[in-house]
Structure 1
Amino acid sequence: MLDVFSHRIIVCSLCRDTVTGRRSGGDLCADLRSRLAETLASSFAVETIDCMAGCARPLTVAFNAEGKASYLFGSIDSGTDAGALVEFARLYASLADGWCNSGQRPARLAGKILARIPAAGKAREQVR
């Protein structure tokens, strides 16, 4: 049976902690799966990938879904940021187009956003 999830959280498996040098992506995935199990497990696939080119700001974590803006976060601490990532997952799942501003995201993730990428075909008009 094929599992179909509407949202994905992708964690870099090769990022090394800048202090310990330890690769903690796998541990973060396990923690996120556990935390999402109670409320969002059927909506989110949590998976690893070997690299997201965020090497200057390890650990990198991405959120994406069909028809929604995607987000890439960096400088994630697997020990202290998991709760904020789950909080963002709840917000992200609730947004029809995935678009949110910095004031809506968890404070713990402030300064950790590397990119917000509009969904394909959904670029917004530039506000001048």
Structure 2
Amino acid sequence: MGQKRLRISVCTSCKVKGASARPGYALIDELRAGIAEMPALREAYEVAGVACMAGCDSPCTVGFHGQGKASYLFGDLEPGADVNDLLSFATQYDTLHDGWCSSVDRPGKLRKSTLARVPATLFEAPQRKEAAE
């Protein structure tokens, strides 16, 4: 098995308020099982847990990352309920050259649960003429 091009990161620290369970572990298992059944995704993705992605107010958080692609952080995700939307987005993200898509193009719940989209490359903003004077 070679190096994967894309990564899905799942927070393993997130807890739903009032619950002791950490849903990230179940979501990791579900994503890995779903990806294992999809040959194109199996070749492209690795799924890993991370200690925290600072989405504590919106558990469980999931990030999508790829070299030269915009990164996404989604929140308020639940094992079982949202895995199909995440797998659909994984398929979409794999085909996006720069990873960029509008919220209306994201599947299901992911249209409204985006916490952040970070550009792949940061460009220096041109200075406004009046600000330079």
Match of 1:32 in 2: 31
Equivalents in 2 of 1:48, 1:3: separation in Å? 19
1:18 is matched by which residue type in structure 2? K
Equivalents in 2 of 1:105, 1:120: separation in Å? 21
CA shift for structure 1 position 122: 6.5
The total of aligned residue pairs comes to: 123
**Structure 2: runs of 5+ lacking an equivalent:** 125-133
SS at match of 2:37: coil
1:51 aligns with 2:52: yes
Match of 1:68 in 2: 69
- CA shift digits 1:2-50 (9 cap, x unpaired): 7410000000001012353310111111110110112211100000000
SS at match of 1:42: helix
1:23 aligns with 2:22: yes
More helix by share: 2
Q: Give the TM-score, by structure 1 length.
A: 0.89
Match of 1:13 in 2: 12
CA contact (8 A) 2:9 2:48 kept: yes
Q: Give the TM-score, by structure 2 length.
A: 0.86
Equivalents in 1 of 2:11, 2:113: separation in Å? 15
- Asked which structure has the greater CA Rg, the reply is 2
Indicate how the Cα distance of structure 1 residues 86 and 122 shifts in structure 2: closer, same or farther if over 3 A, else same: farther
SS at match of 2:65: strand
Match of 2:89 in 1: 88
CA shift for structure 1 position 121: 4.0
CA contact (8 A) 2:5 2:67 kept: yes
Q: Which moved more, 1:2-11 or 1:53-62?
A: 2-11
CA shift for structure 1 position 55: 0.5
Equivalents in 1 of 2:16, 2:9: separation in Å? 17
Match of 2:109 in 1: 108
Equivalents in 2 of 1:102, 1:54: separation in Å? 19
Which contiguous aligned blocks of 4+ residues in structure 1 show a shift greater than 4 angstroms? Answer: none
Match of 2:127 in 1: none
RMSD: 1.8
